[in-house]
Structure 1
Amino acid sequence: MDRHHLVPKTFKGRAQFPIHKICHRKIHSVFTERELFKTYHSWEALQAHEEIRVFIDWVARKPPEFYTSTATTNAKKRR
C-alpha cells in the first residue's frame, strides 16, 4: 500500500490517501505533477479521467497481490 498526495508535495500538498502501489504508479505514469496540481487533485477527478477509469475497471478483476510495471503513456512522454 502506498500513500498518494492529492496535491503533489512539490506544490506544498499535504493531504494523502491510501492507494494500492499499482494504482499509484499508474496515476504518475499518466499525469505530470502540474496536471495533478491543477486538474486531478481529487479522487473524483482522477476517477473521471477515461484512462484511469479503464485501468481501475481492469485492475479490479485482478487478485489483491497483483502487480506489474506501468509504462509512461505516450501523451506524457511528448510533454
Structure 2
Amino acid sequence: MAEHCWLCERPLGRKVEWHHPVPKSRGGRETVAVHPICHRTLHAQFSNGELARIGADVVALRADPVVAKFVAWVSGKPPDFHAPTARKR
C-alpha cells in the first residue's frame, strides 16, 4: 500500500480511498491511494471527461488554481483530517 497521498503527498491516515486517475467509465484501470478529502476535491473540481484528458498527470492536476490552493491549505492538516468539500460552480 502507498504511504503517501497521490494528490497532496501527505502521509495517509486510517481512511484511504482508491482513485482512478483515468475514470473507470473512460477505460481507466489503475488506482492510486488518496485521502477521502483529496478524492472529494478531485471529483468536485473535475468532470470525468476532464479527468480522462488529464489522466495520471498529477502535476497538471496540482497546477489547477483551485487544487493548488486546496493542497496548500491541507498541507498542514493531520492525515485523517476531513471537512466538507464544495463543488465547482
> Under TM normalisation by the shorter chain, which class is it?
0.7 to 0.9
Shift in Å, 1:33: 0.4
- TM, length-normalised to structure 2: 0.76
How far apart, in 1, do the equivalents of 2:59 and 2:43 lie? 16
Deviation above 4 Å: which 4+ runs of structure 1?
none
Identity of aligned residues (%): 38
TM-score w.r.t. the length of structure 1 is 0.85
Q: Does 1:43 align with 2:49?
A: no
Count, aligned residues: 74
1:15 counterpart (20, 30, 35): 30
Partner of 1:32: 47
* 1:63 maps onto 2:72 in alignment: no
Higher mean displacement: 61-70 or 26-35: 61-70
